[in-house]
Amino acid sequence: MGLFNLGNKDAYGKQRRIEHRGKYLRASRTGGVALRAQARAADVNLTANTRRGVRASVTPAKNTQVALQNGRFILRGRYGKGPTKLNLSKSGASVSTRNRLGSFNWFRPNRSSAKVFGVQVRGQKAAQLQMVYMVFAALVGGVQLLFVVIGGLLRGAVALGQWLVDHARALPRRWRNARLQRQRRRVDPAVSEAIARLDADGLSAALALAVALWGRGETLDEGWRRIQRRVTQNPGLEALPRSPELFESVAVELERCRAAVQPAQDAHRIVLALLAEAAAQGMDGERRAALFFDVDDLALARGPRTVLQEELLEIFADHAQLSLEPAMPAGGKQGQRRQPREAPEAAQGPIDLNTASIEELQEIPHVGPERAAAIAAMRPIQRIEQLEAIDGIGPQRLREIAAHARLNDSTKPVENRVEKVG
């Protein structure tokens, strides 16, 4: 222990009381200098002090002391956890709170204490110091609480604003779904029965045809063969059937159903909602999700989705009980429904269109599973311009593909041999 506790800090980081406590010698500002001795006999503590006399004390309970000192009865008790405690003495009970400055007695303020620079102060001066300290602490605490409340209100306002924006954006979609629910109740039972007779493969083909063709303003009898060929050429569309007979029969049945539904301007939406509800009842969640993404791939086969295709995909997801979360790319910003495939690194070199596997062809920009299968079906490829026969590849995309492709084991990209495309 340092001389008179100089430099020693208490739990609050303040200078401890300046005093000396030796085995037989005590010295402090308030107690003066005194000799002291202590002994214990039969659970009784005996203390002799040259300034305070002789005291005999016992501890009948935890934190309780009963003593006789120079013929005076003394009762002391201190109970409770934390900074606020209940004090017990022969004159009654009181409550005090410990703080960084000292202790404040709420019932008897003149029994408060304060310590300033290691100097202990008691009585009225201590109470006044404590009052000033607590008023200052209350002001600081109030300002901190105000900032916390303001921060909470701002966060709440932002969350509320985001909630309102999200719900405002969802209102048209919810209104549309509610309208479709009302309209489907008036659908001819024969239409519902026809859709109910479709098995899982029939429903898959029907949903693919509806989104890919109705979504672009085409009739099914005009385009079902093209869709069936795309599915057959693309082994990655595993959730879709391949049978041309099935596609043909489904196309005929769907067009018949659409013609029987009123109002005509919403017939394709109502039929698609009925198909999606049937899929929700007849397929497990994993197959419905795989089917949704395969249908989305078909919708993208001829370029970006149309507004109607986006709407039909939303109806598909809502009525098939699918919940879709936006993808989160590495940059932290939300992307589209599915993350786009990254372009290959330039260090890989040009890819031979005649010898590369289906997987290797997909490393070329703008070439997905379907286009890779179409390229493989065209072999042997003599000129890069032949790729323009594939749906979705125009002059601009052809230039970008040519920058990453080669022919006949040449080490140079074919773009060096393309003078003018389109």
Q: Confidence class of residue 152 from pLDDT cuts 50, 70 and 90?
A: very high
Does 134 score more than 70 pLDDT? Answer: yes
CA distances from 14 to 4, 21, 27, 119, 336 (A): 14, 19, 20, 11, 59
Burial of 376 (0-12, 13-18, 19+ CB in 10 A): middle
Taking residues 219-237, report their average pLDDT: 89
- 360 pLDDT above the threshold of 90: no
* Among candidate residues 371, 274, 275, the one with its CA nearest the CA of residue 361: 371
Please report the pLDDT score of residue 91 as a whole number. 77
Least confident range from 31-40, 119-128, 343-352: namely 343-352
Cα–Cα distance, 69 to 403 (Å, whole number): 103
Q: Which residue has the higher pLDDT, 201 or 60?
A: 201
Residue 289 is predicted with a pLDDT of 92
Contact present, 314 and 259 (Cβ < 8 Å): no
Ranges 82-91, 212-221, 264-273, 379-388: which has the least confidence: 82-91
The pLDDT score that the predictor gives to residue 17 is 66
CA distances to 39, 147, 212, 269, 281 from 257, rounded to whole Å, are 106, 63, 17, 12, 20
* Mean per-residue pLDDT of the chain: 83
Distances (CA, A) of 181 to 185, 201, 382: 7, 25, 54
Residue range 88-115: mean pLDDT, rounded: 85
Percent of the chain with pLDDT over 70: 86
How many Cα atoms are found within 13 Å in the side-chain-facing hemisphere of 9? 5
Alpha-carbon span 346 to 331, nearest angstrom? 21
pTM for the complete prediction?
0.46
Mean pLDDT across 89-112: 85
Alpha carbon separation from 249 to 221, 239, 252, 265 (Å, rounded): 10, 18, 5, 24
CA distance 117 to 142: 27
Count of C-beta atoms within a 10 Å radius of residue 401:
26
Q: Which two tokens stand for residue 208?
A: 């693919």
Residue 328 confidence (pLDDT) above 90: no
Range with the poorest average pLDDT among 6-10, 201-205, 386-390? 6-10
Which pLDDT score, from 0 to 100, does residue 413 have? 61
Q: Which of 93-97, 207-211, 259-263 has the lowest mean pLDDT?
A: 93-97
Q: How far is CA 155 from CA 161, 274, 314, in A?
A: 10, 42, 31
pLDDT in tens, 254-266: 999 999 999 999 9
Task: Tell me the pLDDT tens digit for each residue of 267-299.
Answer: 999 999 999 999 999 899 899 999 999 999 988
> Considering only 149-158, 181-190, 311-320, 332-341, which range has the smallest mean pLDDT?
332-341
Residue 142 to residues 99, 126, 138, 196, Cα–Cα distance (Å): 17, 24, 6, 67
Residue 420, pLDDT score = 41
